[in-house]
Amino acid sequence: MRALGTDETSATTVLPSGDELIRVATARRLARDTVEISVRTLDAAEVSAVVREKLARVATAAQLSVRERTVLDLLLLGQRSDEIAEELEISARTAKFHQANILKKLGVDSRADLIRLLL
């Protein structure tokens, strides 16, 4: 965990773990010489729920259509445009069109940027 600076009141980090649980630690400055540390443990389902909620908020803020949201979900699962086209029974060109619209609406240039947007 990084040290708290003079103008910061809290810091959060993910703790290393040897199991499937994710531990999130937060240190909050209470006074000049007092810090409160809390640790929350999340399982895979909880982490998935947080990611889904963040994705829903991003999609709503960008005003993605229902179809664009579906294409976004498939992009984040790693599917290529031709695979998306097949699954949605649309042309590959239409799938690429949706992908371009999604990237534009979200203000990103690539799938890697999509991932960073969700972090």
Q: At what angle do helices 92-106 and 81-88 cross, to 10 degrees?
A: 110
67 and 14 in a single domain? The answer is: no
* Domain membership of residue 106 as a residue range: 45-118
Q: Whole-prediction pTM value?
A: 0.68
Q: How far apart are CA 116 and CA 54, in angstroms?
A: 12
| pLDDT digits 0-9 by tens, 47-97 | 889 888 999 999 999 999 999 999 999 998 889 999 999 999 999 999 999
Q: How far apart are CA 66 and CA 69, in angstroms?
A: 5
29 and 58 in a single domain? The answer is: no
Report the DSSP pairing between strands 22-31 and 10-15.
antiparallel
29 and 80 in a single domain? The answer is: no
72 and 54 in a single domain? The answer is: yes
Mean pLDDT, all residues of the chain:
89
